[in-house]
Amino acid sequence: MKNRVLEKFAELFGGDGDIRTYFAPGRVNLIGEHTDYNGGHVFPCALTMGTYAAARKREDGTIRFYSMNFERAGVIATSLEDLVYREEAGWTNYPKGVLWAFGEKGYRIPAGMDLVIYGDIPNGSGLSSSASLEVLTGVVLRDLFGFEVSQVEIALIGQFSENNFNGMNCGIMDQFASAMGKKDHAIFLNTADLSYEYASVKLAAARIVIANSNVKHSLVGSEYNVRRRQCESALEQLQKVVDIKTLGDLDTETFEAHKEAVADPVERRRAKHAVYENQRTLAAVQALKENDIKAFGKLMNASHVSLRDDYEVSCPEMDILAEEAWKLPGVLGSRMTGGGFGGCTVSIVETDCVDDFIQKVGGAYEKRTGNKAEFYVVDIGQGAGKL
C-alpha cells in the first residue's frame, strides 16, 4: 500500500526530495453508540484498514492534493490563503479543514505541501474514513512542520475541523480511536473528561466480523445533528430536576425516576437510549474483563435494539443484517456500528462459524434486499503515525 502511494506520488509530483509516508486507521465501535456527545463512554478499536499518505513539503504556499480513491477528481490545488470550505473541493475539504484548524489552534503552517492519499476503508460505511483522513492530515502536518502536538490534540483538532469546517457535529470517538488505537485492544474512553484505558480484545476463539450493508450514509445531510439537539433539549429539562452535567451522569434508576421531566416522548426516548447505552457500555467492559464474552454479546444485541427503536438511527438493511446474525449459532453478538442510517454491523462470531456466518447472513441479506453485503473479518490495529 505504502509503495503504491509512493509510486503515484513520484508519477504526479516527482520522486526526489524528502517524501514521507503515514497511515491513520479507521475504527469500529464495539459498543457505546451515540454516547460520545452525551458525556458517556465508548468502546471503539482501530482497524488495520485506513488511509495512507505520501507527503512532501513545498517552498511556496501551494497545497496539491490527490486521492487514488477519487482518481477522476485529479490533482486538486489550493493555497494556504484559501482555507475555506468549497463544495467543488470534494474530499479535500477534510484535509483543508485540518490545515485551517491547526491555524485556529495557533499552529501557523509555514508552507504548502504535495499530498497523495489512498484509503482502503469503504467510504460512507460508518468505519470512519473521514476521521482517519483528518487524523492522517494532523500527523502529516506535525511531522512535516515540527509542531508539538500530542495524538489526543490531533484527534481534538480533527473533531474541531469536522464540526466547524465541514459542518458535521460529531463527537470525539472516531478521531480518538484513529489517533490512539492500540493493536489487539479496544479503547474504553470516558468522553466526559477524555480519560481512557485500553482493554485487551484478544478473543480466544472468536473473531470480529464487519458486515457492510452497502447502504451509504451521509451523516451531515441526515438526522445526526437533529439527534444531538434532541439530547441537549432532554438534558436541559432533566437538569431542572436532577443535578447532572450530561446524560452520561445518569444511571438507569435515576433516569426512570425523573424521565417525565422530559415533556416530548421522542426526546425522552432519545435520552433513554443515551443513558442506557452508557450503562450497557460500562457493563460490557466489565464483562470483557471477566472474560464473559457471552454477556458482552448480549449487551451488543440490546444496543442494536435501542438504536433501532429508541434512537431510530438504524435502517431496514442494518436491521436485517443484525436479525439474520442473531439467528445463527456461534454468533455472540451483533449490532449496527457508527452513526447509523446505513453502513455496517459489527458481530462477534466464534472462529469456527465465521464462514457459515458470511454465507448465511450474506445469502439472507441478498434474498431480502436484492443487494449484496460485504464482509470483513478484521484485526485491531495501531493508531495513526509515520510509517
Binding site for ligand GLA (CB under 6 A): 33-34, 36-37, 170-171, 173-174, 338-339
Query: How far is the CA of 221 from the CAs of 46, 117, 212, 217, in angstroms?
Result: 26, 25, 20, 9
Query: How far is the CA of 201 from the CAs of 62, 293, 299, 325, in angstroms?
Result: 44, 10, 16, 21
Min separation Cβ 161 and ligand GLA, Å = 13
- Work out whether the CA dihedral 191, 27, 380, 387 comes out positive or negative: negative
The two most distant CA atoms of the chain are separated, in Å, by 67
First to last CA, the chain: 11
Q: Report the distance separating Cα 359 and Cα 362, nearest Å.
A: 5
Min separation Cβ 343 and ligand GLA, Å = 9
Min separation Cβ 174 and ligand GLA, Å = 5
Containing 45, the helix (H) or strand (E) segment is strand 44-57
Measured from the CB atom, the residue of 147 and 196 that comes closer to ligand GLA is 196
Measured from the CB atom, the residue of 51 and 78 that comes closer to ligand GLA is 51
Task: Show the cell assigned to 386.
Answer: 509515520
Interior angle at CA 336, CA 210 and CA 224, nearest 5? 125
Measured from the CB atom, the residue of 293 and 344 that comes closer to ligand GLA is 344
The three-class DSSP label of residue 55 is strand
The residue annotated as part of the active site, out of 36, 174, 249, 310, is 174
Min separation Cβ 168 and ligand GLA, Å = 7
Min separation Cβ 20 and ligand GLA, Å = 28
Per the rule left: phi > 0, alpha: psi between -120 and 50, beta: everything else, 239 is alpha
Measured from the CB atom, the residue of 27 and 64 that comes closer to ligand GLA is 27
Query: How far is the CA of 355 from the CAs of 88, 145, 252, 330, 376, in angstroms?
Result: 43, 47, 38, 11, 11
Q: Report the distance separating Cα 382 and Cα 96, nearest Å.
A: 25
Measured from the CB atom, the residue of 131 and 199 that comes closer to ligand GLA is 131
Q: Report the distance separating Cα 262 and Cα 241, nearest Å.
A: 10
User: Is 174 tagged catalytic?
Assistant: yes
What is the distance, to the nearest Å, from the Cα of residue 270 to the centroid of all Cα atoms in its chain?
20
Per the rule left: phi > 0, alpha: psi between -120 and 50, beta: everything else, 291 is left
Min separation Cβ 32 and ligand GLA, Å = 7
Min separation Cβ 34 and ligand GLA, Å = 4
Residues with catalytic annotation? 174
